[in-house]
Structure formats: C-alpha cells, structure tokens
Amino acid sequence: MTNILTYTLFSPLVGILLLLFLNREKRTLIKSVGIATSLVTFALSLMVYFGFDPANTNMQFTEQAAWISGLDISYAVGVDGISILLVVLTTFLTPIALLGSWESITDRLKEYVSFMLMLEVGMLGVFMATDLFLFYVFWEAMLIPMYFIIGIWGGKDRIYAAVKFFLYTMAGSLLMLIAILWLGYYASTLPGGYFTTNLQKLYTIAPGIPLGIQTWMFLAFALSFAIKVPLFPLHTWLPDAHVQAPTAGSVILAGVLLKMGTYGLVRFCLPLFPQASIEFTPLLATLSVIGIVYGALVAMVQTDVKKLVAYSSVSHLGFVVLGIFSMTEEGVQGAMIQMINHGLSTGALFLLVGMIYDRRHTREISQFGGLAKVMPVFTTMFMIVTFSSIGLPGLNGFVGEFLILLGSFNSVILGSYVYAAVAATGVIFSAVYMLWMCQRVFFGKVTHDENRSLLDLTRREIAVLLPVLLFIVWIGVYPSTFLKPSAASVKQTVTFMQNVKNGVTVTATPAK
C-alpha cells in the first residue's frame, strides 16, 4: 500500500479528531474510540511488518516530501531492521495500556485518551523518521502528552515527577538540537555541499568528521539518549516518573519511551560518529555495568512494588547498552531483542501492579502476603512475568540476556571479559529481588484481613495480559521469528563499526 507509514503514523490523530465531537459523559464510547483507533494503528503496523523484507538492509516503505526546501529539511520516513519491531511494539502496547486503564481513569477521560493517542504519534514518529530535524520534532513532541499524563493523572507527587521528567529530557535534547544544526552546517562546508538534515546523506558525511569535533557531536547525541535510557548516573528521574504515573503511563514509559534512548544509540551514534563511539565504548560499557548492578541492588531494598520494578528497568536497560557497545552481532542482536523483551515483561509487571493497586490502593510489600490463596490466577500470571524478567530459559528474557553476555564476552572492541562477568551478576541479583518480592507478596499466610476478600482477575484483565504472555513464551521458545527482521541490518552496522576499528574506512554507509 502506498504511504502505509504515513497512515500508520497519523492514524491516531483520526481518533483524537473523533473524540473532539463526543460528549464527555459518554465514557464507554470515549474509551471504545480510543481502543478502536489504536487497534487500527496496530493493524496498519502489521501490514508494514508482513510486507517488510528482512534480507533488505535499505530503508523500506520510504516516503519523502519537501518541508523546508531551502535547508533540505523534509518529511522523510522509512523503516529497516533496526526500527520495524519497535514500531510494532509501540502499536501493540498502546491498546493494551488503554484497555488496562479501562476502570482506573475516571477524571477527564476524554483528555486522557487523546493524550495517549497523541503520545503514540510521537513515539511512532521517532522510530520512523529518516530526517534528523523531523526526528527531533517527534522526539520533543512526545514529551508534551507524557508530561500531562503524569502531571494530571499521576500520584500525589505527580507535578514534581512530571517536571523532573520534562526538564531532564529537555536538557539533553537541546544539546542534540545544536549537534543536528552543526551537522547540517558541516555538510554545507564540503565541496559542492549544502545544509541538510537528511539522515541518508549524513550517513556518508558525518563519519569523516575529524575525531576532535566528532567527539563533541557524539557527546551531544549520546547524552540525550543516555538520559532517556536512562543510563547510570542519569537515571534519577525514572523512579519518580514510574511511581507517580498512572498504570498506562508506566506501561508506555517502560515499554516504549526508554527504548528511544537505546534506539538512538544504534540509529545515530554508531553510524554517524563511529570513531567517537569506539573511543567512548569503555566508558559507556562501564556505566552500563554499574547500572546493571546498582539498579538491581537498589531494587532489592525497595518496599514499594512499583518502585522495585522501576529500578529493575535501570538494571535491564544496562544490559541493552552493554550489548550495543559490544559491537558484535550477538551483542547488538541481543540488545535489539532485549528492547522488545523489556517492553513486554516490564510493561506486564506494571499492568499487574496497577491491577492490585486498584483493589488495595497500596503498593507496599508489607501490606500483602498469602495472595496466592486468594488470587491464584493473578499469582500465576505474575509469576510467569517474573520468571520472564529474571531470564528463565524458555521465556523471552533469557534470549536477550544470553546473546548480550555472549557478545560482550567475545567482543574485541570491549577487549575484556570483566564487563560480561560483572554484568552476569545482575542476572543473579534480579532473581534475588524479584523472587524475594514474590515470596513476601504471594506466599505464606494471609496476614491482613483486607486481603482475604480480594477479587481475582476479571475477564477484561485476563484479556489484557494474555497477548503479552503469548509473546513472552513465543520469543522464549522460538526467538528466530523476532531475531530475523533485524539480523541483516545489525550485521551491516557491526561490520561497518569493525571496519572503522580496523582502519579500513570511515566514510562507508552503514545503511541506506
């Protein structure tokens, strides 16, 4: 289908337009329109996925239209093996998040659904944009709906968390904007050159920038992405945002928004600034390993279930960054699949935490105990997702962590087994904090009378969780389905980086 990416990208805006004409008292209709719109977007993304050729490393389904022609800034979109699964993950989690908050959001429902759909447009734009200026517009536009989702429908400290989230992300983004403008200017200084933000053109120009300047460009981009991941020690906004956000906000924040940081490292930092990326690999690998261990240890001492899951994200995303900067096929492939895994597993954990909070209005671990006797279906699903999160073989988490550790262990660019060895302790720590939490919440005696009459999961809640559990098992049992789309693109990027390391070339195009 012609213009399928544009239809996919902007279809949520149709839902927002319909909501403008609905009476805010028609609550069921408002929620139905939001979910139906997001399902249409998901269906369109599946058309993209099934029409995608994994053997082709070029951008596919490309569309381009002049925007600011004097500066060669255009509306340019496309997908390749690096972005295709992240597009589908975004469209998959959005209707699940909306359905998961069917009963929990009662105030300003019309605005809430509109902001969720607006957020989906921003997220899809980030993964589809092949013009740096367009990418930046979507990157910033995504902040606005998430700011309001946290600030209006969040917990008691929601304003503090929303402002902190906004300021952290904005600070890094401004540096990235300066670097984007400088890249365009640099292109204009070359013989026969002109100002451009076209990513495909910059792929051939930027690697030739002298290392001294390339270093500053890399730092400007990498800082923005490291804040979004978030990479230690830039992670302090994340626990506040997760704890204060409503359930759907936490699902999207963990499932998709954090992946924008790791996606940016692969899409922009490695191919645009390859020499600087290699120079800073020891630092970023060290910070990622520290984040893996630190996030796990801090999660271990949390008394709030949601905050525990939030700190686990710091640990899990450390694995992804380590895999990326191993610059091996196994490591980067592991990072790509682990982005999907984390979105599924941690998204499901936040859904489950939200479901128990709706019943008990507390997330304190000490307020639970013995829930397995009262809520057996809830307990079963929570334990499956827990095993996924800690990397049990047969479930999705094992695939990503195994490939990342294997790639890091064999990495010539990392040049040391220490990174993989220390990172492996994070797997052990994750089992400790997750299983210890489950022991205190689900097993033993029912110690609080309020827990004796809790209702088990409803059919709606089961319907929300089952699709996520399906993919958790599918990826664990047969990961090839989800590794294949990115394999060729990852191989090309890794080969390019290894050539740069060996001094073969610094101007080759890593992806067209």
* Residue 235 three-state SS: coil
Percent of the chain past pLDDT 70, that is, above it, reads: 98
- Taking only the tens place, the pLDDT of each residue in 353-379 is 999 998 888 888 988 888 988 899 999
**Structure confidence at residue 193 (pLDDT):** 81
Mean pLDDT, residues 161-183: 89
In a domain? residue 21:
no
Q: Residue 506: pLDDT above 60?
A: no
Q: Before 230, cis peptide (omega within 30)?
A: yes
Please give the Cα distance from 200 to 59 (Å, whole number): 9
Which residue type, as a one-letter code, is found at position 175?
A: L
Q: Residue 145: pLDDT above 90?
A: yes
Q: Residue 107: pLDDT above 90?
A: no
In a domain? residue 436:
yes
Other Cβ atoms less than 10 A from the Cβ of 462: the count is 14
In a domain? residue 323:
yes
Q: How far is CA 170 from CA 17, 180, 241, in A?
A: 28, 15, 15
- Taking only the tens place, the pLDDT of each residue in 238-268 is 888 888 889 889 999 988 989 999 999 999 9
Res. 295 pLDDT band, cuts 50 70 90? very high
Q: Ramachandran region of residue 76, left (φ > 0), alpha (ψ -120 to 50) or beta?
A: beta
**Structure confidence at residue 419 (pLDDT):** 92
- Taking only the tens place, the pLDDT of each residue in 33-59 is 999 999 999 999 999 999 999 988 889
* Residue linked to tokens 């699709």: 467
Which residue type, as a one-letter code, is found at position 468?
A: V
The whole model's pTM is what?
0.91
SS (H, E, C) 384-426: HHHHHHCCCCCCHHHHHHHHHHHHHHHCCCCCCCHHHHHHHHH
In a domain? residue 109:
no
Please give the Cα distance from 485 to 169 (Å, whole number): 30
**Structure confidence at residue 416 (pLDDT):** 86
By the 10 Å C-beta count (0-12 exposed, 13-18 middle, 19+ buried), 115 is classed as buried
Lowest mean pLDDT among 232-236, 345-349, 397-401: 232-236
In a domain? residue 404:
yes
Q: Can you give the residue range of the structural domain that contains 295?
A: 276-502
In a domain? residue 488:
yes
Res. 505 pLDDT band, cuts 50 70 90? low
Q: Residue 508: pLDDT above 50?
A: no
Mean pLDDT, residues 437-447: 89
Candidates 264, 249, 432; CA nearest to 335 is: 264
Please give the Cα distance from 398 to 18 (Å, whole number): 42
The bridge status of strand 60-68 relative to strand 73-79 is antiparallel
Partners of residue 63 on adjacent β-strands: 77
Percent of the chain past pLDDT 90, that is, above it, reads: 63
- Beta-carbon contacts of 341 under 8 Å, excluding residues fewer than 6 positions away, are 388, 396, 397, 399, 400, 475
How many structural domains compose the chain?
Answer: 1
Q: Residue 24: pLDDT above 90?
A: no
Tokens, residue 242: 């997760």
Candidates 118, 78, 79, 81; CA nearest to 98 is: 118
Tokens, residue 271: 């191919």
In a domain? residue 138:
no
Contacts for 329-332: CB closer than 8 Å, 24+ residues apart: 329/407, 329/490, 329/491, 329/494, 330/403, 330/404, 330/406, 330/407, 330/410, 331/403, 331/404, 331/406, 331/407, 331/408, 331/411, 332/266, 332/407, 332/490, 332/493, 332/494
- Beta-carbon contacts of 496 under 8 Å, excluding residues fewer than 6 positions away, are 270, 271, 274, 508, 510
In a domain? residue 133:
no
